[in-house]
Chains A and B, each alone.
Chain A
């Protein structure tokens, strides 16, 4: 109230403090933000997981299937069937499901590869619908498994298909189902599932690229999906995978249900490749484990790539996770498919009990262990502290500008804004043209698709390097710097809602560079400024990360850096290709974020 009545000279003491101490505050808040994130891993700070929807609970009470023997014999037959087929043994599989009393359908789809010669790939999925008695086809639960031929680079997944058939037989005999259960076997990994989901919802995620075809039969809304990747009939531990496309997560209730069932069935589990920290006397050890899990999850989520096929369901508001059964893990004795089958049975029965969609805002969380979660209420605070230096700095700059030009400061800001438009347009141009650019490079040089795309992207964004030469004279540094900070906040703020991990990692790596950009100091420091700015260029930064990763895989042995440099270079090319591919096929957001977010902001910073 008071501030509006005081004359501008009598500034609110908080604003005066910001103006006076902003640099000190920046130096203090940035490490504080990082520290806050590290603290979140501690059990003292995060919360015990709990069930928000109690109607999930009864499904855990009684699990009656014993499928090990049946599934193993099915697996035996399936393995011999697969030997004589290069693709899914449709007739045999259809026969199995049909004899269990299910409706079986096939689904054809086509992928027109978006880049290069637009090669056509065909695929065929198979799905079986078990109609629930007295239900009116309004809701469904999906159990899916990708089919992998012997030539696939991934581990065999036949045990999952055998488990599905065995479970279908058991489920069909029960009358308590209130939702249809759909069993889906997909071809070509993610592409097949994306096509099936598109066809199920009768939409086209990527028109002209993935042609989903149509389904002969459907059910209603899919409430939840379980994706199976059981690599063998004897499973030593189950790796629960939750990260979906663009870092989306399934409802925490589903993950909790899964964890609870695995505990009940004595199935050893890990979450996204990492075991829960052991509850030890020494609290700091537990904390360390939690922080390491948190960091590992952040790096996985930040990539925006689904950790398994379940990740494609999330876009359609279907809660989904993958159970990856890993055999031959040292230090474990195996569990049979009976236990795994019971976990799936329990999950499906729990979801079957639901009387409403998964509720509460349980889609934003980190799980430092399967028992403890960090809610959005906590990590958003930490993220706020992390980027608050940028906000404070921009307030301070605005106040400064206001003090210097009390009447003309808005005009100055408006005058500075065309540059924002320019860099955004440049970003949009890069975003719109990878396919054309790739063919352009190919027409000149005889590159492979991957190399041509890489060359085009690097070339196109290298143009941004010369931007300062053209704009240096035209811009007014101080309002421009303010606009750049706001531009940065505009990109990173919404990104925190879309993919918090990516936002945090980017903020940690770039906030110092952003804060120092445009500060007018003497030459050596300005040179350092430029070097830092080059380092945080999205392309350079990802290359450095890949290089570090490559070195880390080699146990930090840097005796021969050339190998790592080349490895990182190849990985970088692949990464860029995947980013573009994922955008065209699945609509993954990383490519637009890069072109319409990171690159323009970086160019803006660079032009100061």
Chain B
């Protein structure tokens, strides 16, 4: 009895000590979009203060992640698995923009080449995705973009690796292991993440970001930060034409229990008037109302809500039906398209529209797989029809079956300008084993990205930057001017048709050719190996003579007329 009491006391002691070291915050952000859609962003933040060099025991942070970081000497990594395209024109800017398919970039302490493949495969294993297909043919080392978000000791630019798998199909099998990383995978906000509802939406992106932050100036105190996030775009108006929503309608579920490990469980609803969506009444009443610049938010503390009732179901009821009308696009948009048709050559054209009143400095990153052979002499950048030149450019030509084409361009986008960037490519012939074994529509080219630092005075439609904030509330409500914020926009992924043979045809051809060769072999062999000698037709010869002649390799066929 005594010993058991001692154990309990001891455990409490441990947990009290470590609860100061590790925290878990869960947040949900809901925003009605002018297009009638509804954006919901889940953020689950786990922090660990002063991680030891060789950690073995974690309380809240998933040990798989901890092990992955230690074994592969990873300082920071960002993974996202996405279905669909976030439409900047229709939805504005998300908190985290991610392109279709899988994207992974990581900063390593050492040995990036060796650790990258190992790390990607291991991460693919724990997230049930095909990250193991990441290899040198699709990996690049960006020079100016995807800088570390956290703190990295002895920063070495070549320790970065970046790869995309645009064709990756994201489904429930990726969500389930992802949920397992959470301290509470079936309590609190994670209750809402039911595969059947969130995979029948218009856009879904699940992601993992791990980085190390400094807690003081000299960086003696550090913090390991794991941000897990899910972005979902619902089609809210589909049933009634009103942009109404509730947890039941969106997720088919309510929150029925708190996550006891969470320090904070909050739901933030944006109530900013965007001029298109009608005003809506929220039930139950929010606990706090906050404003930050033009934006206003209603904030719920789910733990408080659950003390009064068994279920939390936040309902928003708009006053009138949604009016679909022209949507003012955000100040900076980027679209990328394949140019041309046919199977021989083509081009890529990117259109960047800056409708802001001031010039913006951006960096454009493009990774083209080797089987599209980029002609760099055709690279042409025009701004409002006039040719312009980039501030800086990084170009690494592709090498067949070894590395992709890497193009990084620093651009100054003039105010109210339309910048077009285009280049041509030639489609390569693949070896027959390089074609996917299944029926396919073509080959995917990963999304290009556009990185810019948000001007101090802000950018219209900008929601918040989670990459420089500890948690969502901080990102949404934090001061705009104090910190450096950046915005990364991803383009569409591209689908390119390569000259694909009709694979039943080679089979036929092989059959034909083999038959023809077999038939031709006999006569050719005869002609080339046997001597023709004249023989006397009347001379009788014995069997022995014939055999000897045969052995000598002389044709014994008699000439008919001589």
Contacts and interface: CB of A to CB of B under 8 A. Distances in A.
Contacts of A202: 337, 339-340, 347, 349
B502 A361 contact: yes
Nearest to A318: B341
B441 to A, nearest CB: 6
B85 interface: yes
Given A202-B340, A202-B349, A359-B502, A99 B441 contact: no
| Residue from B87, B90, B339, B341 with most neighbouring chain A CB atoms (10 Å) | B341
Interface string B480-498: 0000000000001111010
Given A137-B492, A221-B495, A203 B340 contact: yes
Given A137-B85, A317-B342, A1 B524 contact: yes
Interface size on B, as a range, is 35 or more
A138 B492 contact: yes
B202 A134 contact: yes
A317 B496 CA distance: 13
A578 to B, nearest CB: 25
Contact of B324 (A55, A101, A136, A359): A101
Contact of A135 (B84, B337, B524): B84
Given A103-B90, A175-B200, A202-B347, A134 B440 contact: no
A135 B524 CA distance: 58
Nearest to A360: B502
Interface in A288-343: 315-317
Given A1-B524, A101-B36, A138-B492, A133 B235 contact: yes
A218 B440 contact: no
Contacts of B372: none
A464 B219 CA distance: 91
B441 A133 contact: no
A606 B85 CA distance: 64
Nearest to B491: A137
Given A98-B325, A221-B441, A133 B84 contact: yes
A473 interface: no
A217 B335 contact: yes
A223 B169 CA distance: 20
Contacts of B325: 98
Nearest to A221: B495
B203 interface: yes
Interface in B324-383: 324-326, 335, 337-342, 347, 349
B340 A201 contact: yes
Contacts of A5: 527
A173 interface: yes
A138 B494 contact: yes
Given A136-B492, A139-B495, A101 B341 contact: no
A355 interface: yes
Contacts of B494: 138, 220
Nearest to A133: B202
A83 interface: no
Q: Quick one: which of A98, A137, A223, A317 has the most chain B CB within 10 A?
A: A137
A139 B201 contact: no
B237 A201 contact: no
A572 interface: no
A357 B339 contact: no
Interface string B230-272: 0000010110000000000000000000000000000000000
Given A99-B324, A175-B200, A356-B439, A134 B497 contact: no
Contact of B337 (A173, A218, A316): A218
Interface in B490-548: 492-495, 497, 502, 504, 523-524, 527
Contacts of A139: 441, 495
Contacts of B341: 201, 203, 315-317
A136 B339 contact: no
A521 B18 CA distance: 113
A1 B438 CA distance: 44
A131 interface: yes
A103 B89 CA distance: 10
B318 interface: no
B83 interface: yes
B524 to A, nearest CB: 7
Contact of A98 (B326, B337, B442): B326
5 contacts: A99-B324, A101-B36, A134-B204, A221-B441, A355-B439
Interface of A: 1, 5, 55, 98-101, 103, 131, 133-139, 172-173, 175, 201-203, 217-218, 220-221, 223, 315-317, 354-357, 359-361
Interface of B: 35-36, 83-85, 87, 89-90, 99-101, 166, 199-204, 235, 237-238, 324-326, 335, 337-342, 347, 349, 438-442, 444, 492-495, 497, 502, 504, 523-524, 527
Given A175-B235, A315-B341, 6 more contacts: A1-B523, A55-B439, A136-B100, A137-B493, A202-B339, A202-B347
